[in-house]
Amino acid sequence: MPRIQSHLKDLAKAAATRASSTSSARNALQNTSRLHPVAQAAREASAPMAVKQRREDREKSAFPTLGNAPPRASASPRERKVRKELRERLLGPHAANRSAGEVDEETARRRSRIRGTRTTKVDGETQTAVVGQRIYLPNIIFRLIRNKTLPGQPYNPYEATFRIPNSVTKNDVRSYLLAMYGVETTYIRTDNYFSPLYRNYDRTQKTRRQYTYKRAVVGLVEPFYYPENVNEMSAEDRKTYQREIDQNFAPSQIKDRTKQNIIERTKGRSAGAHYRSGPSLQRGNIIAKIMEKRKEREQRVAEAARFLVAQQGQTSAAAELSTS
């Protein structure tokens, strides 16, 4: 009975130590992480489900596990050795000299590091070197798309989403962005999308290339706002942006001209109108042509009558002058 009570006391003490180390680890995570709070939240939200479940189980565990529980005073040498090996396997080779808070602090610092670089010292000066060797990628396309944003949620500028070929790896994405654009990345999440089968004219089923791709969500150190993201701009920035776009590209004029061309091309093709190209043998068109000819004839007759009246007036005036 005393042995069981001592074991329960050890478990309770280990649980209290674990709770205090968890709170200190959270504080260390906030203090040591170099990321913006929005970027840190995005990194935690984009973590794989297995990682989230493992972290949640570790934080919610009421009792310590075999790997991180301190050995009992009455434990056998073999039990102490097994616990030590498990602790080193879980927390590292030097876990015996470090607390759980220090391990979590180091984990947070390692998560927020910039991928693809290594800090070295040359002649006493600290320099950043690129890890890896020079490679030449094939003719591929990195397509930048908008981040998936739920309704009512703000756009996250500390993430960028790309559509890339399925053969491109995370290291390729990281090195390409760093070498070509100088973009530093903190994490990369990828998932593959496969095209469904579509039926062809010959009753065969095939996939479509544009629907088979890999999506890469990249964590950024510096914020990046997607072009034409007008909804996230302030009213003043939105007006300035629209003014610059209208001056350089004139999209409103192009839109108005396109609309006018559509109206001109579809004139007379509405549901209640009939398109008539030139004269036809319809009764309405024949009567309209007869009326036009009649108006032209009446105008010519009126002009001839006015001409005759004016000429008769001139002859009568000349006769009066000759008699006088």
Choose between 102 and 268: higher pLDDT.
102
Give the three-state DSSP class for 6: helix
What would you measure as the largest C-alpha separation in the chain, in angstroms? Answer: 163
pLDDT of the residue at 24:
45
pLDDT of the residue at 92:
64
CB atoms within 10 A of CB 174: 24
Is residue 230 within 8 Å of residue 238, measured between CB atoms? yes
Model confidence at 294, pLDDT cuts 50, 70, 90, reads very high
Give the right CATH number for 143-232 from 3.40.1280.10, 3.40.50.970, 3.30.70.330, 3.20.20.80. Answer: 3.30.70.330
pLDDT of the residue at 16:
47
Please give the structure tokens belonging to residue 184.
Answer: 């530093």
Please give the structure tokens belonging to residue 253.
Answer: 């004029």
213 DSSP β-pair partners: 193
Is residue 6 within 8 Å of residue 74, measured between CB atoms? yes
The mean pLDDT value for 125-145 works out to 79
The mean pLDDT value for 284-295 works out to 86
CA 147, CA 160: separation in Å to the nearest integer?
A: 6
Helix residue spans in the chain (DSSP H): 2-32, 37-45, 49-60, 77-91, 100-111, 170-181, 235-249, 251-265, 283-323
Is residue 166 within 8 Å of residue 207, measured between CB atoms? no
Does 155 have pLDDT greater than 70?
A: yes
Residue whose entry in the numeric block shows the structure tokens 């000819």? 293
CA 171, CA 141: separation in Å to the nearest integer?
A: 16
Please tell me the least confidently modeled range out of 192-196, 234-238, 267-271.
Answer: 267-271
pLDDT of the residue at 23:
45
pLDDT of the residue at 161:
94
pLDDT of the residue at 188:
92
Residue-wise burial string across 57-74, b where 16 or more C-beta atoms lie within 10 A, e elsewhere: eeeeeeebeebbbebbee
Residues 22-65 pLDDT 10s:
444 444 444 444 667 888 788 888 888 888 887 777 666 544 44
Could you give phi then psi for residue 211, rounded to 5 degrees?
A: -100, 5
Delimit the domains of the chain by residue range: 2-111, 143-232, 235-265
Please tell me the least confidently modeled range out of 12-21, 142-151, 245-254.
Answer: 12-21
Does 214 have pLDDT greater than 90?
A: yes
Long-range contacts of 144-153 (CB under 8 A, 24+ apart): 144/226, 146/226, 146/229, 147/217, 147/226
Percentage of residues of the chain with pLDDT beyond 90:
10
Give this prediction's pTM. Answer: 0.47
Please tell me the least confidently modeled range out of 77-81, 118-122, 277-281.
Answer: 277-281
The mean pLDDT value for 300-318 works out to 85
Residue 105 exposed, middle or buried by CB count within 10 Å (0-12, 13-18, 19+): buried
pLDDT of the residue at 216:
94
Model confidence at 279, pLDDT cuts 50, 70, 90, reads low
CA 27, CA 93: separation in Å to the nearest integer?
A: 24
The mean pLDDT value for 278-294 works out to 78
